[in-house]
Amino acid sequence: QVQLVESGGGLVQAGGSLRLSCAASGSIFSINVMGWYRQFPGKQRELVATIAPGGSTNYGDSVKGRFTISRDNAKNTVYLQMHSLKPEDTAVYYCNAHARAFSWGGYTDYWGQGTQVTVSS
């Protein structure tokens, strides 16, 4: 199976920056779209950004112009560079990979354990 391990969360002041990383490991045949989602307390998980293997990106409206997603296909790693952070960005951030663990299997959504991002005012 595919395991996703996130790193880079933490506490930052409003206006600051953070960079999240997520590395996929385990049995990986191929990875399609990778992305980041976030979840506020009592709310459903929402899209932050996704990136296709070729580099096409998609962003949630609230982060456009402030966050940048990128990936290193050779390392099976996705990154999220966050600038101009706001207190309302405070959430648990989850890494996602749409991947195939084996050549005979289909694509499945895999999730990381989540990393807390807290932005103080």
Of 121, 112, 99, give the one whose Cα is nearest residue 20: 112
pLDDT of the residue at 104: 85
pLDDT of the residue at 83: 98
Of 2, 17, 7, 20, give the one whose Cα is nearest residue 71: 20
Q: What is the mean pLDDT of each run of 10 residues along the chain (121 residues)?
A: 94 98 95 97 96 97 98 97 97 97 90 97 93
Token pair recorded at residue 11: 């506490």
pLDDT of the residue at 120: 97
pLDDT of the residue at 103: 83
Distance CA 58, CA 98 (A): 15
Percent of the chain past pLDDT 90, that is, above it, reads 94
Of 33, 29, 36, give the one whose Cα is nearest residue 8: 36
